Structure 1
Amino acid sequence: MKSSEEKLFNYIKKKLPKNVSFIDRIAEVLNISYDAAYRRVSRKTALNLTETLKLANHYNIDLNTLLLSTKNDNKKIVVEKTHHLIEENFLQTFFDKSTNEIKNLQQSKGALLINSLKDFPLYHAGNGFFSMFRIFALINISSRNSKTKKMPFSEFTTSSKILKKHNTFLKEYNKVALIEIWSDSSIDNILNQIQYFFEIGLITKSESLMIADSLVDSLKLIEEQAKNQKRNHSKNSYQLYHNNLVPLLNTVLMQSENQKNIFVPYTNLSYFRVSDENTTQQIEQHFKTQIEFSNNLSGDASVERQKFFNTLYQKIENRKTRLSFSTNDALNPVF
């Protein structure tokens, strides 16, 4: 049976490019000499607890995988929260952590993001009217500040710092190779949010219609990527699938030739991060099952793609009609 140290070093080797010196990297992370790192790698000197934790944290290795001794242990995993606390600056934290994750992913060959979309992803919102509404809605729903929750969309502003982080987040996510699985209901939550904020008086009728039109613009960009089978801002691939059979849960798989990480949502924009090898393999297989029961909307699948997007566009038009005939924008906000 392999020792925990041997398992740790083997996991690290898998994550490193072949042209990188393994001992040099160990020495760099632990801030020790090459000779000291060699003694640890060759097991002449044992790793202490601090060194083990430092290596595991640096390479995002689940310590639970080092301690598995029976099959029943596979039922237990260690997860990491992307947010330790849901605070007023949660959006800034989300942009920072998400950007770092995608940057780390793209440092390795074969970087790919697979997303099973129950809801419209924030990285597709763009920089227009719809994008600003997404930020407004997220802050309003998550905030405990009564003034923030009563602020109309017309008075809403966000800091230049948040906007800069948002733009960096969009830029990085627009570059990565992407596989997405959508259903007909993937935009329903967004439409419900537009309806809700209109009905409580925080957005006007004209604003709600403009947000809906901006959502259409975002969908058209996604449709273009599916047609061309590549991202609009890079040569990386884009594949779109349509599935109304297997439930979609906003679960994200980030993988490369050196790593696999799963992100499972547990609150608004907060995720459990799982790097356990057994679990990531199970989720990857689940994605393959979803894709197996999905229609490919990419490339030459023009008829299926047009049918799917027409369904989404019609949903938006129906909601715009409902908003247009409503008189709720003359009401005061209801709380």
Structure 2
Amino acid sequence: MKKQDLIINRFRESVTDQTSFIQQVANVLDISYDAAYRRIQGKAKLTADEAMELAKTGQFSLDNIMVQDVKLSALGEATTHVNSIKSMEEYLVETVRNLRQLGKDGVRFEYSAKDIPVYHHFDNSELARFKIYVWLQLMDPTFMDTKYENFHLTMEMKSAMKEIAQLIERFEVCEIWNDTTVTSSLKQIDYFLTAGMLRLEDARILCKDIKNLIALKQKELLTDRYDIHYHELLIMTNNSIAYKHGKPVAGFVTMTMLGYIRFTASNMLHRIEGYFKHQLKQATSLSHSNSKERARFFNKIEQKINALEKSLERYEVLDF
């Protein structure tokens, strides 16, 4: 199939308007009905600008078209390498841009949650500041001596984090969790407390924030837009895939702790789509489970948080 036919077909798949498809192409390209018909039939060539306009309006990538016949290749865009506060700001802005490209309607986001998904932390809680602090500790060589109490989010970070949270709220979200998804956040609190980088009172607040976050996720399971699938065996990856009106449109594969590659090539999308479908079949949907099964899952998480809080009490007694 010719590249122009592929572009036209992808645009046809992306539109939901019930009006004439020819007229929709004409409207988007600002050309006559007859000119649109000739392009759809292949009797006239799309210009580069017209192809890009169809891709922009249809919210699909031309990368997908360029590698249609390539079996093992994907054109992808890597996020900024985070190694400073400035590059952290750039990373968050890039994430906003990638989420915006998915549009507002008909988006489903599936996420393999090795850790609590990053976008759950983007609010006004102490936990949001702590997670950014931890990431900078691990990736910025000049940041290692900074104590948590001396670190504050920049206005650029706050703005981008707020927008990421707002964008995610538009999507239908399905996450795959296991028993260790919350563990890393708890270990981070314990580590920085023991290292003298985190005050005891802040550690208590962070434990409370994690409890509040988990309670919020439990409530959101009762809505139509959010679900957690519990998978007992899968080792999570923090990889994700996005769908638009049921069709895969973007994949996100992690390179580093925060960095990822965004790709739209259909061959790679089909591969990651198959992987997610298989794992979801092996997992248990908590939104469709009975209250006993949901309670069992969240009780395990609460016990882990309680264990850390108990250790904080012992830490206070020994702190002489």
Give 1:262 deviation, angstroms: 0.9
Change (3 A) 1:83 1:19: farther
Residue of structure 1 equivalent to 2:28: 25
Change (3 A) 1:179 1:240: same
Q: Which amino acid aligns with 2:145?
A: K
Distance 2:79 2:63 in 1: 17
Distance 2:273 2:61 in 1: 18
Deviations 1:292-326 (A, max 9, x none): 11122115521111111111111112122234323
Q: Which amino acid aligns with 1:120?
A: I
Deviations 1:250-285 (A, max 9, x none): 111111126521111112322111212232222222
TM-score of the superposition, structure 1-length normalised?
Answer: 0.81
Distance 1:47 1:78 in 2: 22
Q: How does 1:95-106 map to 2 (within 5 A)?
A: 95-106=92-103
Matched, 1:189 2:177: no
Residue of structure 2 equivalent to 1:239: 227
Deviations 1:19-59 (A, max 9, x none): 571233245xxxxx659974655545545667767766784
Distance 1:217 1:166 in 2: 19
Q: Which amino acid aligns with 2:188?
A: Q
SS at match of 2:311: helix
Deviations 1:44-82 (A, max 9, x none): 55456677677667844253643544xxx3122222213
Q: Which amino acid aligns with 2:63?
A: L
Provide the alpha-carbon RMSD of the alignment: 3.0
Change (3 A) 1:329 1:102: farther
How many residues align structurally?
312
Give 1:204 deviation, angstroms: 1.4
Aligned residues of 2:114 and 2:180 also touching (Cα < 8 A): yes
Q: Which amino acid aligns with 1:119?
A: D
Deviations 1:89-144 (A, max 9, x none): 23323332333333443434x22111111111122223212122112222332223
Q: Which amino acid aligns with 1:205?
A: L
Distance 2:46 2:170 in 1: 39
Of 96, 114, 121, the match for 2:117: 121
Give 1:211 deviation, angstroms: 0.8
Aligned residues of 2:173 and 2:226 also touching (Cα < 8 A): yes
Aligned residues of 1:264 and 1:272 also touching (Cα < 8 A): yes
Residue of structure 1 equivalent to 2:2: 3
Matched, 1:142 2:145: no
Residue of structure 2 equivalent to 1:160: 155
Residue of structure 2 equivalent to 1:310: 299
SS at match of 1:208: helix
Residue of structure 2 equivalent to 1:278: 267
Aligned residues of 1:201 and 1:329 also touching (Cα < 8 A): no
SS at match of 2:114: coil
Q: Which amino acid aligns with 1:325?
A: R
SS at match of 2:240: strand
Aligned residues of 2:126 and 2:205 also touching (Cα < 8 A): yes
**Where does the alignment leave 5 or more consecutive residues of structure 2 unmatched?**
none
Aligned residues of 1:199 and 1:329 also touching (Cα < 8 A): no
Q: Percent identity?
A: 20
Distance 2:61 2:169 in 1: 27
Distance 1:22 1:88 in 2: 44
Q: How does 1:32-51 map to 2 (within 5 A)?
A: 38=36, 43-47=42-46
Distance 2:150 2:45 in 1: 60
Q: How does 1:45-84 map to 2 (within 5 A)?
A: 45-47=44-46, 59-63=59-63, 65-69=65-69, 73-83=70-80
Matched, 1:178 2:173: yes
Q: How does 1:240-279 map to 2 (within 5 A)?
A: 240-257=228-245, 260-279=249-268
Distance 1:207 1:6 in 2: 58
Residue of structure 1 equivalent to 2:146: 151
Distance 2:98 2:211 in 1: 28
Deviates more, 1:131-140 or 1:180-189: 131-140
Distance 2:50 2:80 in 1: 25
SS at match of 1:272: strand
Aligned residues of 1:241 and 1:294 also touching (Cα < 8 A): yes
Distance 1:308 1:207 in 2: 27
Aligned residues of 2:114 and 2:181 also touching (Cα < 8 A): yes
Aligned residues of 1:184 and 1:244 also touching (Cα < 8 A): yes
Q: Which amino acid aligns with 1:133?
A: F
SS at match of 2:255: strand
Aligned residues of 1:116 and 1:250 also touching (Cα < 8 A): yes
